[in-house]
Amino acid sequence: MRAFLVVMDSVGIGGAPDAASYFNDGVPDTGADTLGHIFDACARGAAEEGRSGPLHLPTLAGLGLYQAADLASDGARAGDQPVTGLWGAATEVSKGKDTPSGHWELAGLPVPWDWHYFPDRVPAFPQDLTDEVCRLAGTDGVLANCHGSGTVMLDQFGEEHIRTGKPICYTSADSVFQIAAHEEHFGLDRLLTLCADLAPTLHAMKVGRVIARPFVGEPGSFTRTGNRHDYAIKPPQPILTNWVQEAGRRVYAVGKIGDIFSMSGIDEVRKGDDATLMRHLSDLVDEAEEGSLTFANFVEFDSLYGHRRNVSGYARHLEWFDAELARLLPRLREGDLMLITADHGNDPTWTGTDHTRERVPVLIAGRGDGSIGQVGFADVAASIAAHLDVPAQGPGRSFL
């Protein structure tokens, strides 16, 4: 009896009841639907780069993905394909459409405060904060000091960063402070130390994450590396990983889960790009201890395709994930559960470049078939705990 909790980062399914309160470039998220709009784009031949035709997700569809999507947003895309899993749609209550908010609540802890967000103006950061960055970095200034996309920040400020040594500091609609620096000219260790030393100041402001964004290359060809590191606020109360660990079970983190939870309740971390993470997940399906929890996040749906509004790329990644999942599910042991969900939306057809407020799918292999209906994010943690027979401490209720 083991549990595998797999987050398809940003694969929302529309229908959030409070979407009108969240915005992209001043436009409310009302009507945002990551999966639905990708499905429609593929159906009309508008997502043909590196793939072709209707969106092909037989494994996820067989677990009830389209039924969940129809439940979330009153759609009609499910058709008559037979379903072999449990399925439902989850609604978030935390006041944020960001990574920590979604993951904390999936792990049983709705965010107990309002995050701090930086204003979309130049400069975005208060002077005392930039002064502290300069003190810690040993520089006489910072670059950017604004909202922006990471790749745009590199194109716009990378050359000046190399020339002056000033760190590139930027934010987004999320509660985040990001610092980009060249691994060779500025130094990777120096960047990581800067972010680690700065994190307590930002956390005291209730900024969710300080993110180190290292890059390499020369002007005109800068690329971000896999050495990103998130310095997140530690959850203030026990979460699913703690519940499992305190019961004497092992907790494996795949991807950025360890960073998101500031290593709270984590025994082992495995990182890499999504292809590498899938290999790690595959290995853990074979190797994870009895009674354990494997908590995985696949970030490239979000980072490579959602934020960049790349519909074809997002569709390709969904189809890749589906094919990989088809190879994993038959290898689950008797008594295992795999629950596949998401943390927020990032509709690649939407205006702006930020996350979108949406419901998310809840798809479960290993516990029969049928609808679990509309559930809460925190119910995911309660259900995983019930499956593993460990005490749950959060507000969620098991749907198993």
CB 210 within 8 A of CB 229: no
Decide if 29 is inside a domain.
Answer: yes
- pLDDT attached to residue 264: 96
Nearest to 277, CA basis, from 256, 305, 308, 304: 256
**Any idea of the CA torsion for 67, 73, 79, 80, to the nearest 10 degrees?**
30
**Same-domain pairing of 358 and 221:** no
Give the per-residue pLDDT at 78: 85
The reported pTM is: 0.92
229 is in an annotated binding site: no
Looking at the fold, whether 227 and 253 belong to one and the same domain comes out as no
151 lies in some domain: yes
- The string of pLDDT tens digits covering residues 65-97 is 999 999 999 888 887 888 999 999 999 999 989
Q: Are residues 104 and 240 in the same domain?
A: yes
Do 261 and 222 form a contact (C-beta atoms < 8 A)? no
Q: Is 355 one of the annotated binding-site residues?
A: yes
Q: What's the confidence (pLDDT) of residue 74?
A: 85
* Tokens at 151, concatenated: 């790749």
Q: Which domain holds residue 288?
A: 3-112+236-388
Residues 242, 377 within the same domain: yes
Does 302 count as an annotated binding residue?
yes
- Assess if residue 399 is contained within a domain: no
**Per-residue pLDDT tens for 313-365?**
999 999 999 999 999 999 999 999 999 999 999 999 999 989 999 999 999 99
Contact 298, 11 (CB under 8 A): no
The predicted structure's pLDDT at residue 259: 92
Quote the number of domains for the chain: 2
The continuous run of DSSP H or E covering 103 comes out as helix 99-106
Cα–Cα distance, 63 to 67 (Å, whole number): 9
pLDDT value at position 389?
Answer: 98
Helix then strand then coil, in percent of the chain rounded to 5, is 35, 20, 45
Q: What is the pLDDT of residues 209-233, one digit of tens each?
A: 999 999 999 998 999 998 999 999 9
Q: Are residues 260 and 169 in the same domain?
A: no
The annotation status of 161 as a binding-site residue, yes or no, is no
Judge whether 121 lies within some domain.
no
Q: Which two tokens stand for residue 285?
A: 């399906």
Same domain, 159 and 280: no
- Residue segments in the chain with a per-residue pLDDT below the cut of 50: none
Residue 142 maps to which CATH number? Answer: 3.30.70.1250
252 and 335 together in one domain: yes
Query: Is 9 labelled a binding residue?
Result: yes
